Chains A and B, each alone.
Chain A
């Protein structure tokens, strides 16, 4: 569930308001959006992908809100991780999309019965 919006990083571009499929955010004039309906969040992490400022943090717990330590998140290096590893926008050349390996993994599992090769 969406947990944190780092106002000092936010550029108030409102892209999260537009792209959140669950309509969790409300735009606020002259400032960062508000996490208005966190309980509606579907924990899909798309807001993190689309946030060019890496200003959002979604906790993996999907059903219930949890306490998240903002300082620990800032130090932990998880902000922007999803965007980076996806090769989203400026990260495209550094992190190639290797989705195509998925069927190889399933095939190797079937061949070995899921045992270590």
Chain B
């Protein structure tokens, strides 16, 4: 039996972006319902991390933005960067009644660097106090649309109540379902299976920047503790104990370690971490020592094996294309926030991991929530029943049968998580990835039974992977985090966003409509 409800604004996803969207929509006067696959407060990657927000006082912003535009290799937009710096600066401190912003050693209150669990607990407390209807363990499975194509709401299941179906009709929907790390060991990313990308694409929205998924983060082997700070002072060794001549901490070091891991085990020691930091590590990142303490490892003396987990679109950049100043998508009534959205305009072609992504999640949350609230007041629901839009993993095109999802998971592991495919890219490898992923997609879309969260997640993961691989093939150059071993230089004619879309037939196209980077920040023609 379906439980149907109405709301002004429906927000799908209760991580950082969804929570700020709820604040934005409520402040704009809407009644708001937020659904989360898990629990709003612990779901999503922010809750397990320590997000530092991009932060600059007004007088420093021109310089900060200019530096980011240059680093972003022509894909950033100055106006958007200024907007997220401004919104973050003005709004993050408003969380003070719910989050105890600490003072640093100089006695100055620090707003920008927050701790994930406490931050998400504070956001949850605030939206509860604002009267937002929060429905935990209510995964959304599909969007609903009116016959004219405008988004009408969503439908999903209550997974703590026998997977009974819920349906919510809304004047506008904000997708804040996160990015995806392709089920890697990225901390806190289990629920992030690209559901919001798939739902948006089924509604006809385009994605952008899907080739920028080649971000990886270090962790002790066999753990998912992808917290990097201590590794800025790490020493690495091969299995014979020889010190590896790694580049300084940063993307170049990550690539160096990935290459070393393809040759064999890599060990790490943190003995160079300064004593005063060691003494305070558990108060900076209290989850980091949990791994070492439980294994009886002294990371400042012992050598331990490390691994790298893919960040996919989380520290990558890809997502649903934003087409308006209030984070509208190209689909009427559908807004997008956080990692569910493409982020080249605020990050450029390099990772927005940490600070830029957090400022974006906060800002896009507030903007999308506000925009959705305005729309929900303007639009009257048409007559008739909303049409469900979900396809792969819900409504098979062929004979329905219990789907064996293991081949899909294996394809994702191989094509999206292995360094030789996902990081060190080539046309040959990407074409092989495409074949494998297409075959897995065909199986899931033709046969996977409806109503199963796992099948729907597999469909979303495969769709995302296919857009990523198709985009990486078309961008036959190396730019930012996208590295093509067979095309190492940056091409002057590729300084544009690359859009992707389509489900059974994946398609891409260049978007040459945006050229905002000043000439001084442009690279030389190779």
Residues of A that sit less than 8 Å from B by CB: 17-23, 40, 42-46, 49-50, 59-63, 76, 78, 81-82, 85-88, 92, 95-103, 105-106, 108-110, 113-117
Contacts and interface: CB of A to CB of B under 8 A. Distances in A.
B283 A85 contact: yes
Contacts of B274: 108, 116-117
B39 A18 contact: yes
B318 interface: no
Given A86-B117, A86-B286, A59 B102 contact: no
B252 interface: no
A61 B272 CA distance: 26
Contacts of B294: 59-60, 76, 78
Max count, chain B CB within 10 A of own CB: residue among A105, A106, A115: A105
Given A46-B47, A101-B277, A102-B285, A60 B225 contact: yes
Contact of A115 (B42, B272, B285): B272
A44 B113 contact: no
Given A23-B160, A97-B283, A102-B113, 10 more contacts: A20-B39, A21-B38, A23-B38, A42-B187, A62-B224, A78-B293, A78-B294, A85-B283, A87-B283, A102-B284
Max count, chain A CB within 10 A of own CB: residue among B38, B136, B137: B38
A63 B233 contact: no
Max count, chain B CB within 10 A of own CB: residue among A22, A78, A88, A101: A101
Interface stretch (B86-94, B141-149, B188-196, B480-488): B188-196
B293 A22 contact: no
Given A42-B189, A113-B248, A21 B47 contact: yes
A81 B290 contact: yes
B261 interface: no
Contacts of B38: 20-23
Contacts of B125: none
A102 B354 CA distance: 12
B104 interface: yes
B185 interface: yes
Interface residues of B, number: 58
A16 B189 CA distance: 18
A1 to B, nearest CB: 10
Nearest to A87: B283
Given A23-B160, A46-B47, A114 B104 contact: no
Interface string B84-119: 000000000000000010101000001001110110
Interface string B32-75: 00000111011110011010100000000000000000000000
B521 interface: no
A99 B285 contact: yes
B516 interface: no
A86 B110 CA distance: 17
B234 interface: yes
B39 A101 contact: no
B229 A105 contact: yes
